[in-house]
Structure 1
């Protein structure tokens, strides 16, 4: 059941409103009462084992990746048997939201967004992480329009880093967004950074 507005989690985070639901979770706009600033909170859906692996895997991956063009993750909290990921709140919404509203982007602005996401991907790839789901819904904006990459829930993490992380989405489960996938990803390839480059171009 969705959290109601005004719900207090862990005696610290007040739920303000529900944001657009993701494929495996609900996301809320909330306020951190101890630091007096806004955050986003992702709620784990325990109905699917894959969702739990994705949730904890995303947290571990994003804790490894600290970059100004990647949405920051703060912590995971437990409250009344539920698990919640506390993240940076992106007040500008997503690129998908902007496109749905019919917003037009200048060539300069489009190049700026692609360049920003490209820098985030270069950093992730240097740390042997492949995002695997680059799409407009995972490109978010701050209040002043800066773009950041979000949702590493189905990311592939290299063997080198698996010793420090939870298991990612299994290869037997094709995850991602089909219209942005290269053919190799549909065939199960998830450890090649060129997957992300293709999807960014798409």
Structure 2
């Protein structure tokens, strides 16, 4: 098992605590082979602990740091399983909001587990409230442009999955710049073509990625499963 303690920013705010517990209980209803289960929610002396399934392995982020980009077949397999997890969660009305390689576990048994559904949002919102900032929840390089502007929808997760695939096969991020500069590139659809930073990819790869990263959420894949199917259709 793995245990995470609720942040003090939430513990000390009754409304944030209530919201955190509500969402944690909702996320705890998710049971899928590619999602790390929440086994229980324990309240003790005012503190709240989430008891998670322990996944033996390493995050995709750690793998990239240690071993470099994945071969295309391996990246496609990881994305197929991650997309299955996201599809399932979306069907239950839950949006992840913070998909990134550090939230994708590559288990030692060969499986893939997506971590931290929903719970990260409550923690981050409470921190932002305590600091009296307007920071949007998420990790900027993986956030869709509409999410950076305060609107989150299922297609925002599709965008993040597109960034994850791009990074898995190249070790790089698709959008240049930082802060407002990166957001402007996202809004204008100006990402660096994947074929320009990863050699030997089959024809059509750039188009598959570009659809996932489209600045207009209506033009992205409708579901994570659709994105996975497009990736699986690529040779290799």
Report the TM-score range of the alignment, normalised by the length of the smaller protein: 0.5 to 0.7
Greater C-alpha Rg: 2
Q: 1:145 aligns with which of 110, 126, 129?
A: 110
Provide the C-alpha distance between the structure 2 equivalents of 1:58 and 1:132, rounded to a whole number of angstroms. Answer: 13
Query: 1:75-128 CA deviation, whole Å, 9 max, x = no partner?
Result: 012345432111101110211111121334111110000110111111111112
Confirm or deny that 1:111 pairs with 2:73. Answer: no
Partner-residue secondary structure (3-state), 2:57: coil
Q: 2:150 aligns with which of 188, 191, 200?
A: 188
Q: List runs of 5+ in structure 1 lacking aligned partners.
A: 1-38, 156-165
4+ runs of 1 displaced by more than 6 Å?
A: none
Partner residue in 2 for 1:129? 94
- Aligned pairs (5 A) from 1:12-31: none
Q: TM-score, normalised by structure 1?
A: 0.66
Query: 1:140-196 CA deviation, whole Å, 9 max, x = no partner?
Result: 1322131111112246xxxxxxxxxx9x959x6510000001110011111x21100
Confirm or deny that 1:201 pairs with 2:166. Answer: no
Whether the 8 Å CA contact 1:182–1:198 is kept in 2: the answer is yes
Partner-residue secondary structure (3-state), 1:64: coil
Partner residue in 2 for 1:88? 53
Q: Deviation of residue 42 (structure 1)?
A: 0.5
Partner-residue secondary structure (3-state), 1:93: strand
Aligned residue pair count: 153
Q: List runs of 5+ in structure 2 lacking aligned partners.
A: 127-133, 164-236
RMSD: 2.8
- Are the structure 2 counterparts of residues 54 and 94 from structure 1 closer, same or farther at C-alpha, using a change threshold of 3 Å? farther
Q: Would you tell me which structure has more helix in proportion to its own residues? A: 2
Whether the 8 Å CA contact 1:75–1:87 is kept in 2: the answer is yes
Q: Would you tell me which structure has more strand in proportion to its own residues? A: 1
- Are the structure 2 counterparts of residues 42 and 109 from structure 1 closer, same or farther at C-alpha, using a change threshold of 3 Å? same
Q: Deviation of residue 131 (structure 1)?
A: 0.9
- Are the structure 2 counterparts of residues 66 and 186 from structure 1 closer, same or farther at C-alpha, using a change threshold of 3 Å? same
Query: 1:50-74 CA deviation, whole Å, 9 max, x = no partner?
Result: 9746753552232221111111110
Q: 2:136 aligns with which of 153, 162, 174?
A: 174
Whether the 8 Å CA contact 2:25–2:41 is kept in 1: the answer is no
